[in-house]
Amino acid sequence: MSLCRGRMPHFDQNMSWCNIAAMEVPAVQINDCGIADYPSGGRLGPRTLPDYEIIWIERGECRWEFDDKQEICRPGSVLLCPPGMVDTWYWDPAETTRHGFLHFDFVAPIKGRLPLRRTCTGSDVLRPLLRHAVWLASLGDSESEALAAESLRQALTWFATGLVTQSGLRTRVELHPVILRALRALRNRWGNGPKTPPSIADWAHDTGVSRGHLARVCRQELDVTPQELLRYLRLDHALVWIGRTNMKFSEISENCGFQSQFHFSRCFKQTYGVSPREMRQQLLAGGDRPLSKVIGLRRMIQIVG
């Protein structure tokens, strides 16, 4: 299998959020990994990266220089270095620096924005996954290497989305009272019938707020408009039926409240990048179900019913 180093994703040097729901992290091949201790005052580089490297700082403080930029990295820092980057590392002058590293390549093209840095706390899920990947890779057999690569792929998914702490995972899906009332209003409106979207004015009235207030809360809490939230809720229902039933696409379209099968297919492809038919083929072949377009959407689906 040839390794993919072309069509590299855009790297976000401002460390802003990346919506990885619009892309999938492909499989990876680990080239090298380990946990390293560096004496105080040491330096690495300048070097040119031949592949990807993800690094996490366990102990000590270091300075990372690249592209005329400088980052101070303390314990909890997780850093992603793309191929072709020229960087230099200056290790802690006062104590030994310990860091873990994994060199890898994606085996298929990846699209979308990846950050260069995340900062983790003691409750993060990212660093334990990375340590586990190193441990598995160190066992040396083919089965363990495959498991190590999958652990790294999962870690990269969390790294890209920014949901790296267990506490963060809990708090980010706590729903604002207005959102919760809006979802319950949808449940009462839809019942067991087609999920026909109400007008935003009607939905706001059912929720007990003004149309403008509903829009503000959706934007502040979920970073979507009410219209987008309605569409994502219905498309996520459709995604479940596509992957777990033999329903015809025309039936799914009707049950999810779309005006026509053509409109449904167009919205679905705009959201997930493939047609409903292609998605069913991918899921039947064992592919991963794509991540929800809005954080906490799966919980919202349970409330709506």
**Domain housing 194:** 173-304
User: To which H or E segment does residue 136 belong?
Assistant: helix 126-139
Between 194 and 301, the higher pLDDT residue? 194
Does one domain contain both 65 and 23?
A: yes
Number of domains the chain is built from: 2
Name the helix (H) or strand (E) containing 78: strand 77-81
- Given 165, 183, 214, the domain boundary residue is 165
pLDDT of residue 112: 67
Q: Please tell me whether residues 72 and 192 are part of one structural domain.
A: no
In angstroms, rounded to a whole number, what is the distance separating the alpha carbons of residues 264 and 251?
Answer: 11
- Is residue 52 situated within a structural domain? yes
Burial profile 91-117: b = 16 or more Cβ within 10 angstroms, e = fewer: bbeeeebbbbbbbbbbeeebebbbbbb
Query: Do residue 276 and residue 232 come from a single domain?
Result: yes
Looking at the domain assignment, is residue 3 inside a domain?
no
Please tell me which residue, 233 or 120, carries the higher pLDDT value: 233
Picking from 37, 184, 159, 165, the residue whose alpha carbon sits closest to that of residue 104 is: 159
For residues 137 and 221, membership in a common domain is answered with no
The arithmetic mean of pLDDT across residues 54-83, rounded, is 89
Could you tell me if residue 141 is inside a domain?
A: yes
- Here the CATH number for the domain that contains residue 158 is 2.60.120.280
Place of tokens 């109400």: 198
Provide mean pLDDT across the span 237-244: 86
Per-residue pLDDT reduced to its tens digit, 84-101: 888 888 988 888 888 888
- In-domain check, residue 214: yes
How far is the C-alpha of 153 from the C-alpha of 159, rounded, in Å? Answer: 10
> Tens digit of pLDDT for each residue in 21-53?
444 788 889 988 888 777 788 888 888 888 899
pLDDT above 80 for 177: yes
**Whether residue 157 has pLDDT greater than 90:** no
d(CA 62, CA 98): 10
